C-alpha cells in the first residue's frame, strides 16, 4: 500500500520510536508527578525531557508552558472554551477545521474571514472584522484540505496591535513546517502529536505564553496543591489534569529529536517538492481540477476528477491501486465552500516525510487511468 493520508495521521514513524514505545510501556509507566518514589520521579523527568525537545522545535523558553493532551482537538477546545464566552467575539478563517468551528460556534460570537478558491485570505479583511468585543484571532497554520499556509506572522501583528490574543492551530504544521512562537509572537499554540510530529496516537498539546490564564475545561488531580479545591493556575497543571500517556510522551522524544536532526525547513521542502510534482502532473490530465495553490503550500493537495464523486475516487484508489487518500469534506465544510467543492468534496493526497517521488508518480498514473474510467475491482 502507498500511504498518502499524512494530514490525518503519520502512519510511518521514525525507526527509533518503535523500540522506545515498547521499552517505555514496560518500564516507564509509573504515574508522573504522583509521588516521590523513583519510578514516578523518573517518569516526570523523562516527560520534561520531551518538553525540552519541543521547546527547541518551537523556540519556547519554558518547558512548563507546554501541557500534554490527547490531541489538537482537546488543546483547541481548551483555548476556546477557557478564554471566550457568550459576550466575546472571535475572528476565525473559512479554512478552519471543525475542532475550531464547533467549539467557537457553541461559545461566542464570531466572524469568519472568507478565503478564495485556493484557500487564501486577504489579510486586510481581518483588521476590518475587529469589533469592541473581539478578544482573540484563531487561525489554522495550514489548511488540512488544500495545504495553503496562512500568513501567521502578519496576523499576529494585527492581533497584538489591537491587544487581542492570537491562537494558532498547528495540527497540520507542527513537525513539518518551521514554527517559532517567539518570532511569530504566538499566545497559544495547539498541536497534534500524531501527525507531523510523528508521535504515537493519543498525543498532542498546548503551549500557552507565560502570564496568560486559561480557565480549564477539565479539572482534577494534578499531583500538586492536593489540599486545595481550586485547580492550580500555573502551567502545566492548569491544563493538565489526570494521568498522562507517559509511555507515548516519553517515547515521542525520539521522534522530535529525529525532526530536529532533519530540520523542519528540509521536511517542508521535501514534502512541498512532492506536492509540486503532483500538482504539475495532475494539471496535465484532462478532466482533473486541482484546488491547491502553487505557492505557500505544504505537502497536501486537493483535487477532483470532473463528474466523479471524490469519495468514490478515493475508494477506487484504495481497492484497485492500493493508494490511501481521503475523499469527502475533511471535517472542514466552509473550506470546501471556499474552494467551490461544497457539493463534490475533494480527493486529498497528503505527503509525509517518508513518501517518495515514486509514490507521487503512482498516484498520477492511477488518477490518469481512473479519469479514463479504468477501474475493475471497485463495486
User: Which residues make up the interface to ligand PLP (CB under 6 A)?
Assistant: 71-73, 97, 99, 140, 144, 169, 171-172, 192, 204
Euclidean distance between CA atoms 156 and 297, whole angstroms: 19
For the chain, give percent helix, strand, coil, nearest 5: 40, 15, 45
- DSSP of 331-379, one letter per residue? T-HHHHHHHT-TTT--EEEE--TT--HHHHHHHHHHHHHHHTT---S--
Least distance from ligand PLP to the Cβ atom of residue 305, Å: 24
Contact (Cβ atoms closer than 8 angstroms) between residue 215 and residue 82: yes
Least distance from ligand PLP to the Cβ atom of residue 57, Å: 17
C-alpha cell at 323: 493508494
Least distance from ligand PLP to the Cβ atom of residue 144, Å: 3
Contact (Cβ atoms closer than 8 angstroms) between residue 144 and residue 300: yes
Measured from the CB atom, the residue of 5 and 281 that comes closer to ligand PLP is 5
Burial letters for 12-34: b for 16+ Cβ neighbours within 10 Å, e otherwise? ebbeebeebbeebeeebebbbbb
Measured from the CB atom, the residue of 172 and 264 that comes closer to ligand PLP is 172
Least distance from ligand PLP to the Cβ atom of residue 201, Å: 9
Least distance from ligand PLP to the Cβ atom of residue 194, Å: 6
Least distance from ligand PLP to the Cβ atom of residue 53, Å: 19
Measured from the CB atom, the residue of 169 and 237 that comes closer to ligand PLP is 169
Measured from the CB atom, the residue of 115 and 130 that comes closer to ligand PLP is 115
Measured from the CB atom, the residue of 71 and 355 that comes closer to ligand PLP is 71
Least distance from ligand PLP to the Cβ atom of residue 54, Å: 15
Euclidean distance between CA atoms 296 and 336, whole angstroms: 18
Measured from the CB atom, the residue of 141 and 253 that comes closer to ligand PLP is 141
Least distance from ligand PLP to the Cβ atom of residue 67, Å: 14
Distance between alpha carbon 12 and the CA centroid of its chain, in Å? 17
Burial letters for 307-343: b for 16+ Cβ neighbours within 10 Å, e otherwise? ebbbeebbbbbbebbebbbbbbbbbbebbbebbebee
Closest C-alpha among 34, 14, 1 to residue 241 = 34
Measured from the CB atom, the residue of 76 and 316 that comes closer to ligand PLP is 76
Euclidean distance between CA atoms 196 and 270, whole angstroms: 13
Measured from the CB atom, the residue of 20 and 77 that comes closer to ligand PLP is 77
Measured from the CB atom, the residue of 113 and 130 that comes closer to ligand PLP is 113
Q: Where are the alpha helices (DSSP H) in the chain?
A: 17-27, 38-58, 72-83, 98-107, 123-129, 152-161, 246-262, 264-283, 310-321, 333-339, 357-371
Least distance from ligand PLP to the Cβ atom of residue 377, Å: 29
Contact (Cβ atoms closer than 8 angstroms) between residue 351 and residue 8: no
Residues 6+ apart with CB under 8 A from 211: none
Measured from the CB atom, the residue of 53 and 203 that comes closer to ligand PLP is 203
Q: DSSP state, 282? A: H
Least distance from ligand PLP to the Cβ atom of residue 192, Å: 3
Euclidean distance between CA atoms 76 and 331, whole angstroms: 15
- Which H helix or E strand runs over 140? strand 134-140
Amino acid at each position: 500500500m502507498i500511504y498518502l493520508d499524512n494530514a490525518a495521521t503519520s502512519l510511518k514513524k521514525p525507526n527509533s520510536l518503535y523500540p522506545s514505545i515498547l521499552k517505555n510501556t514496560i518500564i516507564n509507566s509509573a504515574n508522573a508527578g504522583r509521588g516521590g518514589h523513583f519510578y514516578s520521579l523518573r517518569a516526570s523527568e523523562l516527560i520534561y525531557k520531551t518538553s525540552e525537545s519541543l521547546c527547541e522545535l518551537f523556540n519556547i523558553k519554558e518547558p512548563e508552558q507546554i501541557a500534554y493532551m490527547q490531541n489538537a482537538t482537546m488543546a483547541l477546545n481548551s483555548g476556546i472554551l477557557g478564554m471566550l464566552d457568550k459576550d466575546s467575539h472571535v475572528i476565525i478563517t473559512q479554512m478552519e477545521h471543525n475542532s475550531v468551528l464547533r467549539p467557537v460556534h457553541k461559545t461566542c460570537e464570531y466572524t469568519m474571514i472568507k478565503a478564495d478558491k485556493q484557500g487564501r485570505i486577504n489579510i486586510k479583511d481581518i483588521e476590518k472584522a475587529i469589533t469592541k468585543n473581539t478578544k482573540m484571532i484563531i487561525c489554522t497554520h495550514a489548511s488540512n484540505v488544500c495545504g495553503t499556509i496562512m500568513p501567521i506572522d502578519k496576523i499576529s501583528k494585527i492581533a497584538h496591535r489591537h491587544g487581542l490574543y492570537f491562537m494558532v492551530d498547528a495540527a497540520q504544521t507542527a513537525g513539518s513546517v518551521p514554527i517559532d512562537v517567539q518570532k511569530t509572537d504566538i499566545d497559544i499554540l495547539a498541536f497534534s502529536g500524531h501527525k507531523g510530529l510523528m508521535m504515537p496516537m493519543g498525543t498532542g498539546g498546548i503551549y500557552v505564553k507565560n502570564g496568560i490564564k486559561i480557565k480549564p475545561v477539565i479539572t482534577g488531580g494534578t499531583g500538586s496543591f492536593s489540599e486545595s479545591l481550586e485547580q492550580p493556575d500555573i502551567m502545566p497543571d492548569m491544563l493538565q489534569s489526570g494521568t498522562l500517556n507517559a509511555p507515548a510522551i516519553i517515547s515521542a522524544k525520539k521522534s522530535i529529536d529525529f525532526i530536529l536532526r532533519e530540520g523542519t525547513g528540509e521536511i517542508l521542502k521535501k514534502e512541498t517538492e512532492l506536492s509540486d510534482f503532483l500538482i504539475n502532473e495532475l494539471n496535465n490530465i484532462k478532466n482533473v481540477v486541482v484546488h491547491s495553490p502553487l505557492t505557500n503550500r505544504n505537502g497536501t493537495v486537493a483535487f477532483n476528477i470532473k463528474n466523479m464523486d471524490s469519495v468514490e475516487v478515493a475508494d477506487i484508489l484504495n481497492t484497485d491501486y492500493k493508494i490511501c487518500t481521503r475523499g469527502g469534506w475533511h471535517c472542514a465544510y466552509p473550506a470546501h465552500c471556499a474552494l467551490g467543492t461544497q457539493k463534490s468534496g475533494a480527493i486529498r493526497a497528503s505527503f509525509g516525510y517518508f513518501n517518495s517521488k515514486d509514490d507521487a508518480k503512482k498516484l498520477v498514473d492511477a488518477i490518469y487511468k481512473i479519469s479514463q474510467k479504468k477501474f475493475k475491482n471497485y463495486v
